[in-house]
């Protein structure tokens, strides 16, 4: 049966139970599904929404047999909507079935009650949620459309809830109804651990009718008796034999179920006894561990107290160090404030210090320039005096030379021509004072005289000219320096500037 639950034929079986309208086929298929459920409840968990739809058909089919779509019939029949065309399912109709009366265990009342017992014992929260609001439940489980109608149109509101009330009136409250919702019930796989088919069947029937443990499998929860009164004397002998065989089988099955129930109870008692002994052993071990833990905890508390005392001493020492550190930090902050103020003052005085350095450098430069200028002026004056002295000497020597030349020429002419000599002597005597006067005038007025071939005269003349040119150059430089000094003084009044580089210094 467990293999059949994982076989593809199960999908075909559920599809037949949802769509086909054959009453005998529906009874046989439902009976087969009832045989599968106890053996594979975990594998069938994903099929619970489809089995709930089958339950909706079973609740109506129990008292109202199926009738084909389009056939004439009133409220005493159950109609099934046409299947969705996309499924491609060919419906098995009741009109094509032979007119055979099913055995008692396949009759609608018996099989419907057995199917309800099985579903309620396995998934009670889903059964109640489905019958309360079928459309909402199916839409919440994301079941694809099976019929040609919407889920809201398949069942009338409240119809299934009204019809299932008489069937579950005597049922006991299932623990899953208190613990789980329909979704949580399907998600909890641990419920099926260590549960065999007999235990599943026994629990389901105990929840359905706990006061009748000896009722047979086929009529455990049926409100009607299987056989009442006497058998019709006109019944065929074959019918009597079949009923007799079914009763024997039912008696055998009842005995088997009773033995299984007793075996299950014995098994549960043994398991509970083993669990009790194990619990006692665990409790003894837990008590020993508890005593051991108490001793360990006492030791830990004592060690913690010692650590606490050590920490308190350490905390007091750290607080003292912290106070000293705070005092040191405060004094350092004060010193830092003083140093910062001094640094700000130095920063403010830095441009002035730079200006002082520039001034000192410039003073040195100007002092050196003035010294060079004074030296050049002195040397120029000495050269000028020396040149003047040499010029006077040159003029004197030239005059003497001319006089000697004139006197020599006169002597030569007097020797050659005495009359001309007398005349010339008188003329020279008249011109001599004029020549002397002209020479002295030339010396006083710095009249240039033709250069003498004398070497000293040429040397000193060149030296005099160089001194003059250098004196003029130094004069021009002195004037330029004075102009720059005046300009720098004007700029310094507007803002601090360097005398050397001429760049504005921003404080």
Task: Supply the DSSP string of 84-139, one letter for each residue.
Answer: PTTT-PPP--GGGS---PPPGGGSHHHHHHHHHHHHHHH-HHHHHHHHH-HHHHHH
Task: Look at residues 362, 386, 382 and name the one whose alpha carbon lies nearest to residue 471.
Answer: 382
Is 362 domain-assigned?
no
| Low-confidence winner among 39-53, 181-195, 338-352, 440-454 (lowest mean pLDDT) | 440-454
Max mean pLDDT among 304-318, 455-469, 471-485 falls in 304-318
Is 222 domain-assigned?
yes
Please tell me whether residue 8 adopts helix, strand or coil conformation: coil
Could you tell me if 413 and 471 are in contact, meaning their C-beta atoms sit under 8 angstroms apart? no
Q: Is the dihedral of CA 181, 182, 188, 191 positive or negative?
A: positive
In the prediction, which pLDDT does 299 show?
Answer: 92
pLDDT band at 74 (very low <50, low <70, confident <90, very high): low
Could you tell me if 399 and 434 are in contact, meaning their C-beta atoms sit under 8 angstroms apart? no
Is 210 domain-assigned?
yes
In the prediction, which pLDDT does 65 show?
Answer: 73
- What confidence tens digit (pLDDT) does each residue in 367-409 have? 888 888 888 888 888 888 888 888 888 888 888 888 888 788 7
| Low-confidence winner among 9-13, 78-82, 225-229, 335-339 (lowest mean pLDDT) | 225-229
Task: Look at residues 27, 21, 160, 199 and name the one whose alpha carbon lies nearest to residue 93.
Answer: 21
What letter would DSSP give residue 212? -
- Rounded mean pLDDT of 416-429? 57
d(CA 34, CA 95): 25
In the prediction, which pLDDT does 442 show?
Answer: 41
Is 303 domain-assigned?
no
pLDDT at position 212 over 50? no
How large is the angle between the packed helices 124-132 and 48-61, nearest 10 degrees?
Answer: 60
Q: Is the dihedral of CA 9, 14, 18, 22 positive or negative?
A: positive
Is 177 domain-assigned?
yes
| Residue 210 domain boundaries | 2-227
d(CA 251, CA 258): 10
pLDDT band at 456 (very low <50, low <70, confident <90, very high): low
Task: Supply the DSSP string of 40-81, one letter for each residue.
Answer: -TTTTGGGHHHHHHHHHHHHHHTTS-EE-TT----TTSEE-P
In the prediction, which pLDDT does 394 show?
Answer: 85
Could you tell me if 137 and 182 are in contact, meaning their C-beta atoms sit under 8 angstroms apart? yes
**For residue 230, how far is the Cα from the chain centroid?**
84
Is 166 domain-assigned?
yes
In the prediction, which pLDDT does 386 show?
Answer: 86
Could you tell me if 506 and 352 are in contact, meaning their C-beta atoms sit under 8 angstroms apart? no
In the prediction, which pLDDT does 312 show?
Answer: 93
- Rounded mean pLDDT of 413-431? 59
Is 19 domain-assigned?
yes
Is 184 domain-assigned?
yes
User: Domains in the chain: how many in total?
Assistant: 1
Max mean pLDDT among 24-33, 216-225, 239-248 falls in 24-33
Task: Look at residues 3, 4, 30, 31 and name the one whose alpha carbon lies nearest to residue 16.
Answer: 30
Task: Look at residues 192, 214, 2, 219 and name the one whose alpha carbon lies nearest to residue 111.
Answer: 219
Task: Look at residues 386, 382, 383, 394 and name the one whose alpha carbon lies nearest to residue 442.
Answer: 394
In the prediction, which pLDDT does 307 show?
Answer: 92
| Low-confidence winner among 51-65, 303-317, 436-450, 460-474 (lowest mean pLDDT) | 436-450
At residue 147, φ and ψ (nearest 5 deg) are -95, 170
pLDDT at position 452 over 50? no
Residue with more model confidence, 458 or 184? 184
């Amino acid at each position: 049966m467990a293999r059949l639950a994982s076989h593809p034929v199960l999908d075909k079986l559920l599809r037949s139970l949802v769509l086909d309208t054959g009453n005998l086929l529906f009874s046989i298929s439902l009976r087969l599904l009832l045989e599968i459920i106890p053996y594979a409840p975990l594998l069938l968990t994903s099929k619970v929404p489809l089995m709930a739809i089958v339950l909706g058909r079973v609740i109506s089919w129990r008292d109202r047999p199926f009738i084909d779509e389009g056939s004439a019939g009133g409220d005493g029949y159950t109609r099934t909507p046409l299947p969705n065309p996309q499924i491609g399912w060919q419906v098995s109709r009741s009109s094509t079935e032979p007119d055979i009366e099913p055995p008692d265990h396949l009759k609608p009342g018996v099989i419907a009650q057995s199917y309800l017992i099985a579903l309620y014992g396995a998934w009670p929260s889903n059964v109640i949620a489905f019958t309360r609001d079928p459309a909402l439940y199916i839409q919440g489980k994301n079941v694809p459309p099976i019929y040609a109608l919407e889920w809201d149109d398949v069942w009338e509101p409240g119809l299934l809830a009204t019809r299932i009330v008489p069937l579950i009136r005597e049922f006991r409250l299932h623990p899953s109804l208190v613990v789980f919702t329909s979704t949580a019930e399907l998600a909890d796989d641990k419920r099926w651990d260590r549960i065999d088919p007999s235990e599943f069947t026994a629990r389901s029937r105990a929840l359905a009718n706990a006061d009748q443990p000896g009722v047979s499998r086929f009529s455990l929860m049926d409100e009607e008796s299987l056989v009442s009164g006497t058998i019709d004397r006109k019944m065929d002998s074959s019918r009597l034999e079949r009923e007799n065989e079914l009763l024997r089988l039912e008696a055998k099955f009842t005995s088997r179920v009773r033995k299984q129930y007793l075996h299950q109870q014995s098994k549960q008692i043994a398991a509970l006894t083993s669990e009790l002994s194990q619990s006692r052993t665990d409790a003894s071990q837990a008590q020993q561990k508890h005593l051991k833990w108490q001793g360990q905890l006492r030791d830990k508390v004592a060690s913690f107290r010692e650590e606490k005392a050590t920490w308190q001493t350490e905390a007091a020492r750290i607080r003292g160090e912290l106070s000293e550190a705070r005092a040191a930090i405060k004094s350092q902050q004060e010193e830092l404030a003083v140093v910062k103020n001094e640094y700000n003052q130095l920063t403010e005085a830095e441009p002035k210090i730079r200006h002082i350095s520039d001034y000192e450098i410039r003073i040195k430069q100007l002092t050196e320039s003035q010294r060079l200028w004074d030296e050049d002026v002195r040397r120029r004056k000495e050269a000028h005096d020396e040149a003047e002295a040499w010029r006077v000497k040159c003029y004197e020597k030239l005059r003497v030379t001319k006089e000697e030349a004139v006197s020599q020429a006169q002597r030569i002419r007097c020797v050659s021509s005495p009359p001309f000599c007398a005349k010339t002597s008188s003329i020279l005597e008249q011109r001599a004072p004029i020549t002397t006067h002209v020479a002295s005038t030339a010396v006083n007025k710095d009249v240039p005289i033709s250069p003498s071939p004398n070497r000293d005269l040429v040397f000193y003349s060149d030296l005099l000219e160089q001194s003059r040119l250098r004196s003029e150059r130094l004069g021009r430089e002195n004037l330029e320096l004075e102009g720059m000094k005046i300009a720098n003084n004007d700029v310094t009044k507007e803002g601090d500037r360097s005398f050397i580089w001429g760049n504005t210094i921003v404080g």
